[in-house]
A and B are shown apart, each in its own frame.
Chain A
Amino acid sequence: MFQLRPPYRRLVAVESSREKLMTLDLHGIIPPLVTPFGADESVLEDAVRAEVRLHLDAGVHGICVTGSTGEGASLSAQDTVAVARAAVKECAGSRPVIAGIIRDSLSDVVRYGQALKETGVDALQITPVHYLFTPDGETTFAYYERIAAEVGLPIVVYNVVPWATIDPVTLARILDDIPLVVAVKQSGGDIHALATLLHLGPTGGKVLTAIDDLLYPSFTLGAAGAIAATLTVVPGLCVDLWNATQAGDHATALAIHNRLLGVWQAIGGPNMPARIKVALAMLGRDGGQARSPMSPVTDAERAQLEQALRDAGVL
């Protein structure tokens, strides 16, 4: 298992990055939005803005675009900038906007990060490199340190790739020792790693959860918020879950947890972006099409989605 060796070495914060960091508050329900595409797979910016507006009206605490749910791995730097710009405009400073970067080399990440700088996004959500062979902890630390130095925007470390996981000790060190890293998003279905990370108690940034079927337990363990696919399907319910948990109303929170579980089970797994977009269409929203090779959803999957949304009480 993980070797726990606190306390961590603390570096003196870089003053120039402090001002931005002082005002940035990432917490609560931060849904990762879908990226609506037209039939020709181009980005539909108006539909992006409509989705952002819907989430703001639902009372979310922030917006995340171009993550996994947003098919970020399919987006060119230009597409990513277009989506981020649309989201920033629609939010108009009312809530923080995070833009995702899912790339496989340092130079590519820096290229996307620099392109995103002008959009006014508040932070970047960045995966480790993840094509088959993963770097070790030291190398991953150096990777985020380098991105921070070259791009200069706050960073959310996106620990999502099942075959390229970053261990909790390394995550805590990244949070504590790289001033521009403001949060970690712990995904990959591993609540054990989340518990270990929260137990280590890094003070240099927030720990967010992306364990869709265990949001309620994540919040009770002390996660500062969530960026998870379920949030974009049923943002209002997720805000209610967050509020109930924060108020210590566990009966309500548990009831909401049980309504949410089926939603995740219906959208999770292969072909996820396409399934989420079908769910949005059932709810009367325009998520557009998914990009190929995401494929049409089967009748059985459609029926499961419909049932889950009914059980959740949103359809």
Chain B
Amino acid sequence: MARTLTKEDIRGVFPPALSTFDDNEDLDLDTFRRELAYLRDLGATGFVIGGSTGEGHALTPAELHTLCQVAIDEVRGEIPIVGGVITTYTRDAIVRAQAARDAGADGIMLTPPIYQPPSDEGMVDYYDRVWREVGLPIVIYNVVPRAPVTPELTERLADIPGVIATKESIGGNLETLGRIIESVGDRIAVTWAQDPLMFPGYAMGAVGSISGINTILPEHSIRMFDAIQRNDLATAAAIHYQMTPVARAIGLVNWPAGVKAAVNLQGRKVGLARRPYVPLTPEQHSRLEQALDACRTVAG
């Protein structure tokens, strides 16, 4: 491992990379590299591999390993690579985290167990045990509505030495984001990841985002983040209202397919999602195309 990832590294526009597949649903590594290079050159501050946008729920540990390896080779230590761990029970989380570590990843991003919710004690045990067994810095990924990482739990998890950041997504909301910034913002990096609400989340003080929209509309995302950093709220708001129709058109149903359609429509050919997510219907596709057409030029 080239570096020890710290809270200072998890900031800015940190895109979750797409996992790209060929017609047989096998990894398409050339396309994967091309996407990473494109986003890095635009100013990505790091990548998560195998997050939700990267269909981490549908990757084997071996595939996660391969993707992390290729990503590390592509960025050559310039920016951090974080492996996504999205699974159900501790033992599989450890297997996946080890796969990321053995590939040379700088950290992992870990959801709560995605199927059966544990007790609060079980949740703390989950993060603690993965940290102790694997030893890679951890970004909490608060994305499972039925197993939310509450502000109280986040405080407890922040006591685990390996926990360096949180990604507040649909396991929370703007209110919990504020509470977490207040309570642990000095100890861990608090990032925000609800695509339709990036502007208010940044304005409240989230230090960055690992959100699907960063991959879908990277230039908009970076320009909006930069506008917020220089207190240019008018520009940030203008970009916000360009981005949200795209997020809405993708929706949450069949999301992985919608994300890839949005990227394909912009000319970055990234193939299809793994089944059972299937290509959009012609109506969905044309609605998305219209939303994308309306924001072809970044506002401000």
Judge if A163 is at the interface, Cβ distance under 8 Å: yes
With contacts A107-B25, A131-B52 taken as known, whether A41 is within 8 angstroms of B276 at the C-beta atoms is: no
Please, how many angstroms separate the alpha-carbon atoms of A108 and B58 in the complex?
Answer: 8
B64-72, B114-122, B216-224: which one contacts chain A? B114-122
Judge if A196 is at the interface, Cβ distance under 8 Å: no
A293 touching B126 by the CB < 8 A rule?
A: yes
A295 touching B116 by the CB < 8 A rule?
A: no
B75-83, B239-247, B249-257: which one contacts chain A? B249-257
A291 touching B91 by the CB < 8 A rule?
A: yes
With contacts A105-B58, A132-B143 taken as known, whether A295 is within 8 angstroms of B121 at the C-beta atoms is: yes
Chain A window 1-19, contacts with chain B (Cβ cutoff 8 Å), 1 for yes, 0 for no: 0000000000000000000
Judge if A136 is at the interface, Cβ distance under 8 Å: yes
B255 touching A295 by the CB < 8 A rule?
A: no
In the complex, what residues of B have CB within 8 A of residue A295's CB? 118-119, 121-122, 125
CB of A288 to closest CB in B, whole Å: 15
A273 touching B116 by the CB < 8 A rule?
A: yes
Say which residue of B126, B143, B253 sits within 8 Å of A134 (CB atoms).
B253
CB of B254 to closest CB in A, whole Å: 5
In the complex, what residues of A have CB within 8 A of residue B88's CB? 73-74, 102
Among B89, B119, B274, the most chain A Cβ lie within 10 Å of the Cβ of: B119
Main SS at interface, chain B: loop
Among B113, B122, B146, B170, the most chain A Cβ lie within 10 Å of the Cβ of: B122
Judge if A129 is at the interface, Cβ distance under 8 Å: yes
In the complex, what residues of B have CB within 8 A of residue A134's CB? 252-254
Judge if B145 is at the interface, Cβ distance under 8 Å: yes
Chain A, Cβ-Cβ closest to B114: A131
Judge if A135 is at the interface, Cβ distance under 8 Å: yes
In the complex, what residues of B have CB within 8 A of residue A271's CB? 117-119, 122
In the complex, what residues of B have CB within 8 A of residue A284's CB? none
Judge if A46 is at the interface, Cβ distance under 8 Å: no
- Number of interface residues, chain B, beta carbon within 8 A: 39
Judge if A106 is at the interface, Cβ distance under 8 Å: yes
CB of B155 to closest CB in A, whole Å: 18
B276 touching A272 by the CB < 8 A rule?
A: no
B275 touching A107 by the CB < 8 A rule?
A: yes
A139 touching B276 by the CB < 8 A rule?
A: yes
In the complex, what residues of B have CB within 8 A of residue A74's CB? 88-89, 91-92
A135 touching B254 by the CB < 8 A rule?
A: yes
Judge if A93 is at the interface, Cβ distance under 8 Å: no
A71 touching B58 by the CB < 8 A rule?
A: no
B129 touching A292 by the CB < 8 A rule?
A: yes
CB of A24 to closest CB in B, whole Å: 25
B122 touching A292 by the CB < 8 A rule?
A: yes
A106 touching B52 by the CB < 8 A rule?
A: no
A104 touching B58 by the CB < 8 A rule?
A: yes
A293 touching B276 by the CB < 8 A rule?
A: no
Within 8 A of A (CB), among B246-271: 252-256
B118 touching A293 by the CB < 8 A rule?
A: yes
Main SS at interface, chain A: loop
B253 touching A136 by the CB < 8 A rule?
A: yes
B276 touching A68 by the CB < 8 A rule?
A: no
In the complex, what residues of A have CB within 8 A of residue B183's CB? none
Please, how many angstroms separate the alpha-carbon atoms of A295 and B35 in the complex?
Answer: 41
CB of A195 to closest CB in B, whole Å: 24
Judge if B86 is at the interface, Cβ distance under 8 Å: yes
Please, how many angstroms separate the alpha-carbon atoms of A132 and B277 in the complex?
Answer: 12
Judge if A162 is at the interface, Cβ distance under 8 Å: yes
Chain A, Cβ-Cβ closest to B88: A73
Judge if A142 is at the interface, Cβ distance under 8 Å: yes
Chain B, Cβ-Cβ closest to A128: B276
Judge if B123 is at the interface, Cβ distance under 8 Å: yes
Please, how many angstroms separate the alpha-carbon atoms of A123 and B254 in the complex?
Answer: 28
In the complex, what residues of B have CB within 8 A of residue A71's CB? 89, 116
Please, how many angstroms separate the alpha-carbon atoms of A68 and B253 in the complex?
Answer: 24
Judge if B278 is at the interface, Cβ distance under 8 Å: yes
A136 touching B254 by the CB < 8 A rule?
A: yes
CB of A164 to closest CB in B, whole Å: 10
Chain A, Cβ-Cβ closest to B145: A163
Judge if B33 is at the interface, Cβ distance under 8 Å: no
Judge if B90 is at the interface, Cβ distance under 8 Å: yes
Judge if B57 is at the interface, Cβ distance under 8 Å: yes
Judge if A89 is at the interface, Cβ distance under 8 Å: no
A73 touching B116 by the CB < 8 A rule?
A: yes
Judge if A146 is at the interface, Cβ distance under 8 Å: yes
B275 touching A106 by the CB < 8 A rule?
A: yes
Chain B, Cβ-Cβ closest to A108: B58
A41 touching B118 by the CB < 8 A rule?
A: no
16 new A-B contacts at CB < 8 Å, known A105-B274, A132-B144, A295-B118: A73-B113, A74-B88, A74-B91, A74-B92, A105-B58, A132-B255, A136-B254, A139-B277, A270-B117, A270-B118, A271-B119, A272-B116, A291-B91, A292-B126, A293-B126, A295-B122
| A to B CB contacts below 8 Å, 29 in the list | A73-B88, A73-B116, A74-B92, A102-B115, A104-B58, A105-B58, A105-B274, A107-B25, A107-B58, A108-B58, A131-B114, A132-B57, A133-B256, A133-B277, A135-B278, A136-B253, A146-B276, A162-B146, A163-B146, A270-B118, A272-B116, A273-B116, A291-B91, A292-B89, A292-B126, A293-B126, A294-B116, A295-B121, A298-B119
B contacts, CB < 8 Å to A? 25, 52, 57-58, 86, 88-92, 113-119, 121-123, 125-126, 129, 143-147, 170, 252-256, 274-278
